Structure 1
Amino acid sequence: MTEDMYTLGLLIFTSFFTLINPLSSMPVFMTMTVNLSPKKRKKTAKKATLVAFFTLLLFAFSGQILFNFFGISVNSFRIVGGVIFFAMGWDMLQARLAHMKHTDDEDKIDAYVDDISITPLAIPMICGPGAITNAIVLMEDAVTVPKKVLLISIIAVVLILTYLIYVGGSKIIGFLGETGNKVMMRLMGLIVMVIAVEFFFSGLKPIVLGMLQN
C-alpha cells in the first residue's frame, strides 16, 4: 500500500469514526436496550450496524443520484433526524422505552428489537446525515477500484468497532441497577433532545437562508 493509500485510509477512518461517534451514542443504546437479555442486546447491536453499513453503501454508490432524482438535500435529512431524535428523547425522559420492553411475549420483544435496530439506532444515530454525506463525497473522490475497496473496508471496520463498543458498554447496565438505569434514561433523554434541537436547526438554517436570498 502506497503512502497515498495510507493517508486516504487514515482520513476515511478518522472522518467516519468521528461522524458516527459510537462512544457518544453508546449510552443511548444502553438505555434503549436496558431490559433486553444480553442475547437480544447483541442481536440489536448487530442488526443496527449491518443496516447502517448497507445504507452507507447504498448512498456511497447512488446517493448523489437519489438526492438529485427526489430533489432532497442533506439539510432535509438533518431536520427529519432532529424530529426523530426529539421524539425518542421525549420517550426516554418519560421512561416510556423501559415500559415498552416489559413483556414476556417473544414476538413483541423481537418486534421491538427489529423496530429500534432500524430507527433510530441504524438511521439516523449511526448512519446520520454527516456519515451519509461523507460516504457520498469520499466515494466520488475514490476514482480507482483499490480506493473504493479501501473505503468500503474501512467503513466496515468502523461499524465493527461500533458493534463492539455497544456490546461492551451494555455490560454497565448490570452494575447500575433499576434505579440507576431509570436515572440514566432520563439524563440521556435530555441529552438526546438537545442533540435533536441542534440537528433540526443545523438543517433548517441553510434552507431558510436560501429562501430569503431567492
Structure 2
Amino acid sequence: MDTELIKIILAFVVLINPFSTLSLFLNITSGYQPKDRQKVAQIACLTVFITIAFFTLLGENLLKVLGISVGSFQVAGGILVFLIAINMMNGGGNPVKPNADEVEVSSSLAASAVVPIAIPMMIGPGGISTVIIYSSQVKGVFAIAMILSAGLCISLFCYVSLMMAGRISRFLGETGLNILSRIMGMLLAAVAIEILVNGLRGLFPQLMI
C-alpha cells in the first residue's frame, strides 16, 4: 500500500476515532433490534464517507471562494490538529467534539445516525479540516482517488467498530480507551507538525529549506 495512503488513513483514524463514539452509539441504540442497530451504523458511516468525499472534491474551491490561501489554511489546520493532539495526550479527548452527555439525540433513527453520531462525534472540525488540507495539496485524479479510498477505508473501519461496540467496550474498558486515546494523540501530533510545516513552507518558501 502506498505510504501516502497509509499516512492519510492514519490521520483519519486518529481524528475520526470511532472508539470515542462507542458509548454514545450504545446509548442511542439501547433497546433497538439488531437490524435497526445495523441500519444506524450504516447510515452513520455512509455519512462519514459522503462528508469526506464532499470536502475532498470541493474543499479547495471553498477556500478560493472565501479568499483563503492553502498555506494559511494549512497553518490554521495544523494548529487546530496539534491542539487536539495535546488534549488527547492529556486524557481530555477531542476538544472540538462535544461530550456524549452534551449532545441532543433525535427520536428519528436515521436523524440520530447522521447527527450526532456521524457529525460531529465521528467527523468534526478537525477531520473536515484535514480532508480539505490533504485534498488541496494534491493534483490529479489518482491523488484524489487515493484520498477517497482512505475515506472509504475509515468508513468501513467505523462500521465494524460500531457493530462490535459492545465487545470493544468490554474488552478495552475505560482504562484501555484512555490509553488508546493518548497513543492516538501522539501520532496525531506528528501529523499536525507536518501539516504546519507544509503550510509555513507554502507561505514563506524563502525561509524554509
TM-score range, shorter chain: 0.5 to 0.7
- The one-letter code matched in structure 2 to 1:85 is P
Shift of 1:66: 3.3
The CA distance in 2 between the partners of 1:71 and 1:120, in whole Å, is 30
Measure the CA separation in 1 of the matches of 2:30 and 2:151.
27
1:126 to 113, 122, 127: 122
Aligned residues: 151
Q: Secondary structure at the match of 2:108?
A: helix
Letter of the 1:89 counterpart: D
Deviation at 1:134, TM superposition (A): 1.0
Q: Which residue of 1 aligns with 2:113?
A: 117
Structure 1 residues 100-152: Cα deviation after superposition (integer angstroms, max 9, x where no partner): 8xxxxxxxxxx621111111111111221111111111111222322221111
Task: Report matched runs for 1:42-81 at 5 Å.
Answer: 42-66=38-62, 69=65
Matches within 5 A, 1:1-214: 6-66=2-62, 69=65, 85=98, 89-90=101-102, 112-170=108-166
1:63 Cα deviation from its structure 2 partner: 2.3
Q: 1:26/1:71 Cα in 2 relative to 1: closer, same or farther (>3 Å)?
A: farther
Alpha-carbon separation, structure 2, partners of 1:35 and 1:150: 39
Please name the residue that 2:87 is paired with.
Answer: none
Cα shift at 1:8: 0.3
What TM-score do you get using the length of structure 2 for normalisation? 0.60
Alpha-carbon contact 2:56-2:148 (below 8 Å) kept: no
Native 8 Å contact 1:16 1:155 kept in 2:
yes
Partners of 2:59 and 2:132 within 8 A in 1: yes
Contact 2:56 2:144 in 1 (8 A): no
Identity percentage of aligned residues = 27
Question: What is the rounded CA distance, in whole Å, between the counterparts of 1:41 and 1:153 in structure 2?
Answer: 26
Displacement over 2 Å in runs of 4+: 63-75, 82-86, 170-173
Distance change in 2, residues 1:65/1:146 (3 Å): closer
Go from structure 1 to structure 2 and tell me whether the alpha carbon gap of 1:64 and 1:142 turns closer, same or farther (over 3 Å shift).
closer
- Aligned partner of residue 58 in structure 2, secondary structure: helix
Q: How far apart, in 1, do the equivalents of 2:156 and 2:23 lie?
A: 17
Deviation at 1:62, TM superposition (A): 1.2
Structure 1 segments unaligned to the other structure (5+ residues): 76-81, 101-110, 176-183, 185-214
Contact 2:60–2:135, Cα closer than 8 Å, also in 1 = no
Measure, in 2, the Cα distance between the counterparts of 1:10 and 1:162.
Answer: 16
Larger radius of gyration: 1
Stretches of structure 2 lacking an aligned partner (at least 5 in a row): 78-94, 175-209
**What do the CA deviations read for 1:134-190 (whole angstroms, capped 9, x no partner)?**
1111111222322221111111011101001101114679x9xxxxxxxx9xxxxxx
The one-character-per-residue Cα deviations of 1:15-63 (angstroms, maximum 9, x if unpaired) are 0000000112112211111121111111001001101111111111112
More helix by share: 1
Looking at structure 2, the residues matched to 15 and 90 of structure 1 have their Cα atoms a distance apart, in angstroms, of: 26
